[in-house]
Amino acid sequence: MTRLALVVEYDGRPFVGWQRQDNGPTVQAALEEAVRRFCGEQPVLVGAGRTDTGVHAAAQVAHLDLDRAVDPGRMRDALNHHLRPAPVAVLAVRPMPEDFHARFGAVSRAYRYRILTRRAPPTTERGLVWHHPNRLDAEVMHDAGQTLVGVHDFTSFRAVACQARSPRKSLDLLHVRRLGDVVEVNVRARSFLHHQVRNIVGSLALVGSGKRPHGWIQEVLEARDRTQAGPTAPPDGLTLMEIGYPGWNSREHR
């Protein structure tokens, strides 16, 4: 048996998410079909993160087992051939120890959320940003967001349908900056609750627009009540940027 890790980039717009489902195309299904066409085997891919409908990835990681050894470069190129025309690309194939696990072995996950803050709607980046027609104060959003860094009960920022056993998570980094018309929110943690990032962004946008005061984020956190937070930001602007493992991360090994 050969265990392999795939580093994968994809545009989430045509998919109903990462995980295989019956109600539409998924990234996992597209990759598994490409593997079948490459070597005739039908392994199940295990992803490091189950991105939702419309969410993108710059360096997702998934592992699979094959019965025989393969050349990583040849497999990468073959999978990309068989994936066409789906907007999915295998950036790297890495041989891994048999005990490697893409999900449970990850020590960090990083996401980026991009908000286009201008009156005119996006054209070339439609579906890749959240269009917010009013200007947002990125500095205020950043300062307010520091309340969330650390270990907290994130009940106010988890989806009602979240299946995580505990709402308690450690948020290692939250950074907001402006790049021209775009406000970029970067977050990193070992793991996230369902919709946690999008709910945080939706709440910070209310602060950045002046609709809520700076200290409101602290109040929402302490309330431990999803109804007290802001709306869930759309999936368009969210990208899974990297997965970290002991000794390497997916962005550095493409």
Cβ-Cβ contacts under 8 Å for 72 (sequence gap 6 or more): 4, 92, 93, 94, 95
Catalytic pick among 11, 22, 52, 65: 52
Cβ-Cβ contacts under 8 Å for 226 (sequence gap 6 or more): 155, 156, 157, 158, 159, 160, 199
Are 113 and 101 contained in the same domain? no
Question: Looking at residue 202, which CATH number applies to its domain?
Answer: 3.30.70.660
Structure tokens at 216: 């409101």
Amino acid residing at 196: Q
Are 99 and 131 contained in the same domain? no
pLDDT in tens, 130-139: 999 999 999 9
| Structural domain includes residue 253 | no
Q: Which of 87, 105, 123 is the last residue of a domain?
A: 105
Domain ranges, residue 194:
108-242
| Catalytic residue list contains 52 | yes
| Structural domain includes residue 248 | no
Cβ-Cβ contacts under 8 Å for 158 (sequence gap 6 or more): 164, 167, 193, 194, 195, 196, 199, 226
Helix (H) or strand (E) holding 32: helix 27-39
Question: Looking at residue 59, which CATH number applies to its domain?
Answer: 3.30.70.580
- Overall number of domains in the chain: 2
pLDDT in tens, 17-64: 999 988 899 999 999 999 999 999 999 999 999 999 999 999 999 999
Query: What are the mean pLDDT values of the chain's consecutive 10-residue runs (254 residues total)?
Result: 96 95 93 96 94 96 95 97 98 96 98 98 96 96 98 97 93 98 98 97 98 96 97 97 96 72
